[in-house]
Amino acid sequence: YTTTAVYRFVNGTGGWSQTRLDTLGGANNLPLNGSITDIAIDYADVTGNSIYISMGGQGDYRHVWHFNGTQWAQRSGPSAGHANSLLDVQHNAIVTDPTNTQHIYVGADIGVWRSTDGGANWASFSENLPDASVMDLKLHPRRMLRASTHGRGVYERLIDTASAAGIELYVRDTQLDQGRFTTVNNLDDPTDMGEVVKHWRGPDIKLDTPDAGGNYQFPLTGVIDFVEFTDILNDDSRQVATHATATIITRVYVQVHNRGVTPADNVQVMALLANASAGLPALPAGYEVDVQNGIAINNANWQTLGIVTLDDVRVGFPKVASFSLDSSMLPPPASLSGNDHHCVLALIHHPDDQYLSTQTNTDQNSKIERKAAHKNLKVVQFTGTIPPPVIVPFRISNALLEKMLITRLTIRLNNYAGRVRIYLPHLKVDGDIREFVSNAKPNDDFRDFHAWAEEHVQMLKLNQQSRNPYHKEWTLQRQKDIEQVMNMNIMFETTKTKEVIIDKIHMEPNSYSTIFVLFDRPENAKFGDTFDIEVIQQDVEREMEVIGGLDLRVEVKPEPKEWKYFLRLWQRRWRRKGDTIILSRLYNSDDEYVSPEKGGAITLTFPEMNGLTKPVKMKWHRRWKAYYYILRGTKTFGHTLIVAKGSVDGKKVAGGKLMVESNVRRAFT
């Protein structure tokens, strides 16, 4: 920004040299005495010696000038006051189009103007701009002209399109995504220094899970706006709640944008839930018709959380749809910690901006379709000083319906300090699987996996007979996954490795394989230590294109409080047909019974049983040296959860749970 002075600086062999340009040209020099506000390259000149400038001030309509390397000429239109000339107002910015070298754009105190003939004629290019000065212009390589206004924000326009779309909806795959082009992974994340963006971390999808006190960030029955979604709502998608018996609701929020110039009413937002996997299962063929017609999609792989309609979705004011995720819809938990990995997919439709994608590969669809996005995250927590290993199952999938897939699986451990064990089902490769696994050695250590599998399968079977069962199809899939690994008896282990690669896996069309990874707690880990793990699935035949992924965070949690008392809880059949007796003992640290004479007491609650909502006190049997309670009834009930609380002198000291196999429908003392 100078006052009637233009200089060219050249960095030559002898250093920088300076040449003043505005005085060149003799009679055709730059005659005006005013402020020079901007300079743009004339791409029509391959020598690079030609430029355009814009000038500020008032009193002369000639605010754009061209220098061809030797002399100057005005490029502001035919004449002052002509319909095709620039206005005599302050001009602040100028840009030229490298693709169409005769196209020039200027920003002035009154709008944006365009010339398509090198400045010989001009026309307004200000449709939908506010009544504000345009202070700067930038031409994006993706063919978008962006204008920065004084106090009214930044606006953009596609320069190769005759008119803007009326309604143009989108949900973002990454923080950099604007729904214009295919999403690119691994670019720097502008919101998280040192991190990169991934298409399975859709920022327009957030979850709100209750805390330990049952409190949510926002009321379940309410709605939130885009400010609350962006600035207040913390994303809980790494700690989605599931429970063995109780129903827990997680709130799912989806933010929808409209880039079009017309506010959109009746925007249909569909949210779907998929079983956890690094490579997501395929969407059913023809699913786009269901999306268009607002018909729920429910099959073995996908369940619809809901369909919500949004009104008044307009530029700069996105709207947020909310859904309820019932814990009974979640896949069985990977461990008894109560957390599980999952995926939520959002699909958007409007009659004037229809959902037309027929792509059934979920990962590919999210990257190429602006009206589709998904979120795919999980956190794993350790508790205690000597815990069992944490077991994380995840899937690799071939979402292609008619084509084989050759894929690579990379588990990026980032030098995780503990031992990692990987248990495989049958994976089809061209040879011995051991030849295709890098940075991990084969072993036969199945003891921990067998123990976990036995307990996990038993838990799933009991859960299916409870009042709040997990999704039946996903439960059966998990049991089958475990059985396949047990039958193959193939595992690998590694310690302090950057990554483990399983290469060139051949997968049948529309198939998946579940892999189980066991994380041992690092020996010297301290409370608060975290370890980020990343799972990547790639398509070998498409230049290692990333087709799926999963993020894990292994976090070391504080040790639990050491109980000075221990409560044991069990059941027996009573002599009367149909009755069940519940027995319990309370022990102190010396392994002695704590009877009522010593201040002991045990109460029971039945969370799932009709007719009994208040705690009941167990009686003491002197001969048995145990507390007891009789369940009486004759009608079939199935499995009943009982929760026990042991106290000494009125203070709770121990607790326990028991799943009772009973035919009791009601409880009687």
The pLDDT value recorded for residue 615 is 86
Query: What's the mean pLDDT in 128-155?
Result: 94
Looking at the structure of the chain, the number of domains it has is: 4
Amino acid, single-letter form, for residue 414: N
- The H or E element containing residue 473 is helix 472-488
Higher-pLDDT residue of 549 and 647 is 647
Residue 224 and residue 274 in one domain: yes
Query: What's the mean pLDDT in 435-448?
Result: 93
**Is residue 517 one of the residues assigned to a domain?**
yes
Residue 519 and residue 408 in one domain: yes
**Is residue 120 one of the residues assigned to a domain?**
yes
Among candidate residues 375, 401, 433, the one where a domain is terminated: 375
> Which residues of 77-229 form beta strands (DSSP E)?
91-96, 104-108, 112-115, 123-124, 134-140, 144-149, 154-158, 169-170, 205-208
| Calpha distance 566→195 (Å, rounded) | 46
Residue 135 and residue 230 in one domain: no
Give the least confident one: 47-56, 129-138, 274-283, 646-655. Answer: 274-283
Q: Is the pLDDT of residue 454 over 80?
A: yes
Q: Are 333 and 341 in contact (CB under 8 A)?
A: no
Alpha helices in 207-256 (DSSP H): 226-227
Percentage, residues of the chain above pLDDT 90: 54
Residue 428 and residue 297 in one domain: no
Give the least confident one: 228-242, 526-540, 630-644. Answer: 630-644
3-class SS of residue 233:
coil
CATH number at residue 464: 2.60.40
Query: What's the mean pLDDT in 266-278?
Result: 86
**Is residue 560 one of the residues assigned to a domain?**
no
| Calpha distance 90→295 (Å, rounded) | 56
φ and ψ of 470, to 5 deg: -70, 170
Confidence of residue 435 (pLDDT cuts 50, 70, 90): very high
**Is residue 71 one of the residues assigned to a domain?**
yes
> What's the pLDDT tens digit per position in 297-343?
999 889 999 999 999 999 889 999 999 988 777 755 444 333 456 78
Q: Which domain holds residue 472?
A: 382-553
Percentage, residues of the chain above pLDDT 70: 87
Q: Is the pLDDT of residue 131 over 90?
A: yes
Residue 569 and residue 637 in one domain: yes
Among candidate residues 375, 393, 420, the one where a domain is terminated: 375
**Is residue 285 one of the residues assigned to a domain?**
yes
Residue 299 and residue 346 in one domain: yes
| Calpha distance 392→254 (Å, rounded) | 27
The pLDDT value recorded for residue 386 is 37
Max mean pLDDT range (115-119, 628-632, 633-637): 115-119
Amino acid, single-letter form, for residue 426: H
| Alpha-carbon separation of residue 382 from 80, 350, 411, 522, 529 (angstroms) | 77, 45, 20, 10, 10
CATH number at residue 353: 2.60.40.10
Residue 219 and residue 366 in one domain: yes
Among positive and negative, which fits the CA dihedral 482, 486, 488, 494? Answer: positive
The pLDDT value recorded for residue 661 is 57
Residue 250 and residue 178 in one domain: yes
**Is residue 559 one of the residues assigned to a domain?**
no
| Calpha distance 268→291 (Å, rounded) | 9
Closest CA to 399 of 291, 285, 476: 285
CATH number at residue 598: 2.60.40.1870
Among positive and negative, which fits the CA dihedral 355, 359, 361, 365? Answer: negative
Residue 467 and residue 505 in one domain: yes
The mean of the pLDDT values for the chain is 86
pTM for this entry: 0.63
Confidence of residue 664 (pLDDT cuts 50, 70, 90): very low
Confidence of residue 377 (pLDDT cuts 50, 70, 90): low
Residue 362 and residue 442 in one domain: no
Query: What's the mean pLDDT in 599-605?
Result: 92
Query: What's the mean pLDDT in 582-588?
Result: 89
The pLDDT value recorded for residue 385 is 35
Among candidate residues 317, 351, 375, the one where a domain is terminated: 375
The pLDDT value recorded for residue 383 is 35
CATH number at residue 120: 2.130.10.10
Please list the residues that pair with 626 across neighbouring strands: 621
Angle at 332 between CA 448 and CA 641, to 5 degrees: 95
**Is residue 164 one of the residues assigned to a domain?**
no
Residue 314 and residue 205 in one domain: yes
- The H or E element containing residue 72 is strand 72-74
Return the exposure string of 110-140: e unless at least 16 CB atoms fall within 10 Å of the residue's CB, then b. bbbbbbeebbebbeebbeebeebbbbebebe
Q: Are 360 and 397 in contact (CB under 8 A)?
A: no
The residue whose two tokens read 């300090």 is 417
Residue 196 and residue 335 in one domain: yes
> What's the pLDDT tens digit per position in 553-576?
777 766 555 557 888 888 776 655
**Is residue 256 one of the residues assigned to a domain?**
yes
Q: Is the pLDDT of residue 471 over 80?
A: no
**Beta pairing, strands 530-539 & 405-412:** antiparallel
Closest CA to 108 of 158, 148, 145: 148
